[in-house]
Structures are given as C-alpha cells and as structure tokens.
Amino acid sequence: MRAVAQRVLRARVDVEGETVGEMQEGLLALVGVAREDGPTDARQLAAKLVHLRIFEDAKGRMNLSLLETGGCLGVVSQFTLLGDVRKGRRPAFAEAAPPEQAEPLVEAVIAEARSLGAPVITGRFQARMEVELLNEGPVTILLDTQRRF
C-alpha cells in the first residue's frame, strides 16, 4: 500500500456538495492499494501512520506521533497513487488493485487505526471527492508497505 501523508491544521472531504469528513489538526493520508497488497499491508500502514513522529514537541523537534498529540487521521482512498508514468505521459494503472480488493483493505487501515486509538475521518470509496487541506509545515511523507521507495 502507498500513502501520501500530510501534517495538516485542518482538512475536509466533500462528495457532491456534501461534507463527508472534516477534521482539525492531524494527519491526512491519501491511500492507494496495489494488486499484491493484503491485510498485513493494511495493518502495517495504519500502525505507521498513527505512530509516525512528525509532530513537534515542546522544543520544536518532530518527535511526537498522532496518538501522542491527540490529532485526527484522515484516510482518503486514491488509486492514482499507483499510476506508472515511466513510459509515456499517460499513467498506467496496471499495478492498482481492483475496487473489490482495494475497498476492504482501505477499510482495514481505518479499522486498525481506530483500534490503535486514533480518531479517523474518511472520504467515500470510488467517489469523485473534493479534498481541501491546510498543510502545516509543510510536512509531507511518502509511505510504501512494499518499500519500493
């Protein structure tokens, strides 16, 4: 699984003019699922997201996790993270998991993060979403459970 995790002051997800998720300070993760991903990847990604030490401590050092700050986790599915543009200019999505595989794994990330103690907001799977965020820092981290980067 891949994620682009951004430290945010606030974020909101709208679908067809309706706000389906809204949060204040925390971490917004855009999550993509690859064909070879499974439940272990979902558990690993959730744990990494909630324990990632990218929030500042009293000395201004990135030393605290989402759980330690009491922030919220936003999880938004985004299959385009698996887009391959090594050949040509149009992304190929052959590595992206089909929806029937991807949706349960995104839901598993959400469930695991909640079981670890993080409040979680989400988007809507396979919907055309408008994601608005205020990146703080800016701090943006790339994650991949297969360690391709």
Q: How confident is the model over 32-67, as pLDDT tens digits? A: 999 999 999 999 999 999 999 999 999 999 999 999
- 126 catalytic per annotation: no
* pLDDT band for position 148 (cuts 50, 70, 90): confident
In whole angstroms, what is the distance from residue 103 CA to residue 107 CA? 6
**N-to-C CA span, the chain:** 12
Catalytic residue among 19, 24, 40, 80: 80
Question: Is residue 72 a contact partner of residue 117, using CB atoms and an 8 Å limit?
Answer: no
- 93 catalytic per annotation: no
- 80 catalytic per annotation: yes
pLDDT for 149 beyond 80: no
2-142 folds as D-tyrosyl-trna(Tyr) Deacylase; Chain: A; (3.50.80)
* pLDDT band for position 94 (cuts 50, 70, 90): very high
Catalytic residue among 55, 79, 122, 145: 79
In whole angstroms, what is the distance from residue 7 CA to residue 55 CA? 8
Supply the pTM of this predicted model: 0.95
What's 82's DSSP letter? Answer: G
